[in-house]
């Protein structure tokens, strides 16, 4: 089972992917694989942020009650 990355680790991995792709030395196939990897990381980041937002809404709702 793959280790679940923190948001910070995911952002760092995305930065590395962007750097590699901007260098222009990857083949088309390598670029496509990096793109897919980046999209998976972004989806994971979005899911993690959504979970945090929901928790904050619950906390804020409890404080207002």
Q: Radius of gyration (Cα) for the chain, nearest Å?
A: 17
The ranges assigned to domains in the chain are 8-16+28-64
Which positions ≥6 away from 13 have C-beta within 8 Å? 5, 37, 41
Per-position pLDDT tens, the chain of length 65: 467 889 999 999 999 999 999 999 999 999 999 999 999 999 999 999 999 999 999 998 877 76
Evaluate if pTM is beyond 0.85: no
Q: Are 26 and 34 in contact (CB under 8 A)?
A: yes
Structure-block tokens of residue 25? 């030395």
């Amino acid at each position: 089972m793959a280790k679940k990355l923190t948001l910070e680790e995911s952002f760092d991995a995305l930065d590395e992917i962007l750097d590699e792709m901007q260098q222009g030395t990857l083949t088309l196939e390598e670029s496509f694989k990096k793109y897919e990897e980046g999209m998976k990381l972004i989806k994971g980041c979005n899911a993690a942020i959504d979970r945090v937002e929901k928790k904050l809404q619950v906390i804020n709702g409890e404080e207002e009650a």
